[in-house]
Amino acid sequence: MSTKKDKSGPCPCGQPSFEKCCGRFITGGQVPATAELLMRSRYSAFALRDEAYLRATWFPDTLPEEELTSETDVKWIGLDIKKHQHASGSDEATVEFVARFKVGGKAHRLHEISNFVRQPDGSGQARWYYVDGRFPED
C-alpha cells in the first residue's frame, strides 16, 4: 500500500521539492544516478510506505521476504546524509546516514552505513540497489 504524496510539497528526505527530488524516482520517471540519490529516495519511500519501490530497489539476493512497511506506528521525521563513498568506475558504494523517526511520540534515530551495488536491471539499464547495512558504534 502506498501513501499518496503531494507532488508540489517538500520531499520527506528534507529537500524542498518532492517532485524534483525523490518523486521523480519513486514514480518511475527516472533512475537514481548515485547511491546517495537512491538512499534518499528509499528513505522517502519508507516515509510514504511505498512497499513496491522499496522492493524494486533492494538487491534480490538480500531482499527479506517479510513486508518492509508493516510498522504503521513509525513516523519518519528527518534524514541526514553523513557520507557518500563511490570510487570512480566502481559498481559499489556506501552511504552513511542518520534517519530520525518517532514511535508512539518517542524520538529514535537509526545510524547506518549502507552498501549499494550497481548492475543492469531486467531491461539492461544500469541502476543502483541497496544490498545491506551495518550500524556503527556511536
Mean pLDDT of the chain: 93
For residue 137, give the C-alpha cell. 558504534
The pLDDT confidence band at residue 7, using thresholds 50, 70 and 90, is low
What is the mean predicted confidence (pLDDT) over 73-95?
95
Strands 106-120 and 126-134 turn out to be antiparallel
> Is the per-residue pLDDT at 92 higher than 80?
yes
